[in-house]
Amino acid sequence: MIIKVGIRRGDYRSHAHSISSCKYHFVWYPKYRHGMLELVRGELAELFQGTAERFGHEIVSMEIATDHVHLFVEADPKWSPAEIAKQFKGYSGRTILKRHPEIKQRYFWGSGLWKDGYYVGTTGVVSEDVVRRYIEETEH
């Protein structure tokens, strides 16, 4: 049985030999959960946008709260979620602490800006239920 779902052509990214829809919701925190991101919110937004452009990602949505970041990103399937998190966290963390030594001295005592680890969740244009039904009900 073939299950048809209402998917728009614009929901996908087209590549040389594949089509994809890879969207990730990331959440991460500054070390020690310091509530200091409002001090550099604008710079972080610019750094995240620059990182997205450099690696070919699209930022779908972003929130920079005082003590954590939410980033909803669409990326090519060649990038793993771990690589994407490293791209955004690594460059932004190094750049902010280099530009603002007073923040490094006051809040981070010589260590990096971001806490190790992050949350990542995936989303897509087809629900879990549709995929499950497709696999279970299609003759292979």
**Would you say 24 and 18 are in contact if contact means Cβ atoms under 8 Å apart?**
no
Reported as a single tens digit per residue, the pLDDT across 75-120 is 999 999 999 999 999 999 999 999 999 999 999 876 899 999 999 9
Contacts 24+ apart (CB under 8 A), 80-84: 81/24, 81/26, 81/120, 81/122, 84/24, 84/26, 84/55, 84/57
- Set out the domains of the chain in order of their start, with CATH numbers: 21-137 (3.30.70.1290)
How far apart CA 6 and CA 63 sit, in angstroms, is: 30
31 sits in the region (left: phi over 0; alpha: psi -120 to 50; else beta) called beta
Reported as a single tens digit per residue, the pLDDT across 25-70 is 999 999 999 999 999 999 999 999 999 999 999 999 999 999 999 9
What confidence score (pLDDT) does residue 4 get? 36
Beta-carbon-side half-sphere exposure of residue 135 (alpha carbons within 13 Å) = 6
How far apart CA 48 and CA 114 sit, in angstroms, is: 14
Is pLDDT at 74 greater than 90 in this prediction?
Answer: yes
How far apart CA 65 and CA 137 sit, in angstroms, is: 44
How far apart CA 71 and CA 85 sit, in angstroms, is: 10
What confidence score (pLDDT) does residue 16 get? 64
